[in-house]
Amino acid sequence: MAKTKHAVNGRDSAGKRLGTKAVTGQVVPAGKIIVKQRGTKIYPGKNTGLGTDFTIFSKIAGMVKFEWIRGGRKQVSVYPVLKS
């Protein structure tokens, strides 16, 4: 019997675990990753930073808020929580 080709399908890469890691109203510490993304689908707002791989993280401890900005874009901000 002649030798046949081996299967060339069946390869797949592992998921990159992208997406939202914190939701609106959630209290996060400083340095917490809020969104992992490719490109700027969501823009950084107040008290947040943008990493070299477009990861958005909090600069202060506070409450997360996703909001719409001019031009139909979405941004995420972190506002300090007032202690009572």
Q: Domain containing 41 — which CATH number?
A: 2.40.50.100
- For residue 2, pLDDT over 70 is answered with no
Domain for residue 9, yes or no? no
> What is the C-alpha to C-alpha distance for residues 41 and 59, in angstroms, rounded to an integer?
20
Domain for residue 73, yes or no? yes
How many structural domains is the chain composed of? 1
What are 73-84's pLDDT values in tens digits? 999 999 999 877
Nearest residue to 22 via CA among 69, 74, 78? 78
Domain for residue 2, yes or no? no
Share of the chain above pLDDT 70, in %: 90
Domain for residue 1, yes or no? no
Q: 35: which DSSP letter? A: E
> What is the C-alpha to C-alpha distance for residues 42 and 50, in angstroms, rounded to an integer?
10
What are 13-38's pLDDT values in tens digits? 999 999 999 999 999 999 999 999 99
Question: Domain limits at 38?
Answer: 19-79
Mean pLDDT of all residues in the chain? Answer: 93
Residue 1: its pLDDT value, please? 64
